[in-house]
Amino acid sequence: MGKLYDKLAEDVRFIEGLKACLNCGTCTAICPAAEFYNYQPRQIVDILQTRDDAQIEALLKSETIWYCGECMSCVTRCPRGNAPGLLITALRSLSQESGWFTESEKGRQQLAIKRTVGEWILKYGYCLYPSEILPEMHPEQGPIWEWEHQNMDEVMHRLGANYKKTGPGILRKIPQEDLDEVQRIFDETGASERFSKIEEFSRLKADEMGISFGEGLDNEYIRHIYTTNDKDHTTKS
């Protein structure tokens, strides 16, 4: 048994997700990602079953593990009770812990997610926050969101929100003492450490790629990872 396999096997999601796969391909048949990307959850499970470190390392550096949408449709249908979607969560965790996520175009996107959703959780207590969802970063949200964005305080008030105000309610300002608790939970349970690793490994990769790295969202590296599709991700092998 390889060391990487041992590391994965410490994750309860891995234990729950991998029993004995018979390679029937039902997960691939139902998988939305397999329809869009060059991706087969069946192959992921098959590689993991080999317990071969070289193959698992290649997986952790690959584009492949970032194609899944974690919809968990595969879990419903697997006749053997495997959960390829859960195995993906364990692989992505290890890829970030090891820094190998920066070896793939899709993996490098983790910095943009950390700088948005990750930091909004700590700043606001919400995964999403309306003033941060900029129409220019979300053209698909259409003119309705552009209009809401221009009139956010009034729109939220009209629809019954308690936006930015104290007390309970929709999009209330979450008390600072509660946000402090969230920060301490992140420090206690490994999220702060993961955030630091995502930052550090991304900075190293940006240097290696010769792309300017900076704080926040307004810098060349973030724009690059947020918008770039240089590789062919969808042609089936």
Partner 1 sequence: MKIEGKRSIWKEYQKEIADDRYFYVRSCVRQNFFPGSEKTFLRIMKDVLHKDVFENASHTTCSGIGYHSDVVPFETAMTMVARQFAIMTEAGYENFTTSCITSFGLYSEILETWHHFPEVEERVRQHLINATGRTFNKPANLAHASDVIFKFRKEIAAGGMYRLINKHTGKPLQVVEHIGCHYSKMFPAKGVGGAEYPYVLAGMIEDWGGDVIDYPERRHCCGFGFRQYLIQANRGYSLACSKKKFDSMAPYKPDFILTNCPGCPMFLDRWQYALSEMEGITYGENGLGIPVLTYEELAGMILGYDPWDLGLQVHQVPVEPLLDKIGIPYDSKRKFLTMDGKMMGQPKAPSHLKFYQHE
From CA 18, how far away is CA 146, in angstroms rounded?
45
Minimum CB distance to partner 1, residue 136 (Å): 10
Q: 3-class SS at 190?
A: coil
Per CB under 8 A, the segment of 2-10, 20-28, 41-49, 130-138 that binds partner 1 is 130-138
Q: Which residue bears the tokens 């004995």?
A: 20
Minimum CB distance to partner 1, residue 219 (Å): 16
Q: Please identify which residue in 129, 135, 199, 219 interacts with partner 1, judged by CB under 8 A.
A: 129
Q: Nearest-CA neighbor of 106 among 231, 193, 236, 235? A: 231
Question: Which residues ranging from 94 to 113 are in contact with partner 1 (CB under 8 A)?
Answer: 96, 106, 109-110, 112-113
From CA 77, how far away is CA 82, in angstroms rounded?
9
Say how many residues touch partner 1, by CB under 8 A: 91
221 binding partner 1? (CB under 8 A): no
From CA 145, how far away is CA 108, in angstroms rounded?
28
Per CB under 8 A, the segment of 19-27, 50-58, 122-130, 205-213 that binds partner 1 is 122-130
16 binding partner 1? (CB under 8 A): yes
Burial of 86 (0-12, 13-18, 19+ CB in 10 A): buried
Minimum CB distance to partner 1, residue 202 (Å): 12
Q: Please identify which residue in 79, 143, 210, 216 interacts with partner 1, judged by CB under 8 A.
A: 143
Question: Which residues ranging from 26 to 85 are in contact with partner 1 (CB under 8 A)?
Answer: 32-33, 35-37, 66, 68-73, 75-76, 83
Minimum CB distance to partner 1, residue 187 (Å): 7
Cβ distance 231 to 105 under 8 Å?
yes
Minimum CB distance to partner 1, residue 58 (Å): 19
Q: Which two tokens stand for residue 170?
A: 């929709």
Q: What are the start-end ranges of the H helices in 99-215?
A: 110-113, 119-124, 142-150, 152-158, 176-189, 191-209
Question: Which residues ranging from 146 to 165 are in contact with partner 1 (CB under 8 A)?
Answer: 146-148, 150-151, 154-161
Amino acid at 119: E
203 binding partner 1? (CB under 8 A): no
216 binding partner 1? (CB under 8 A): no
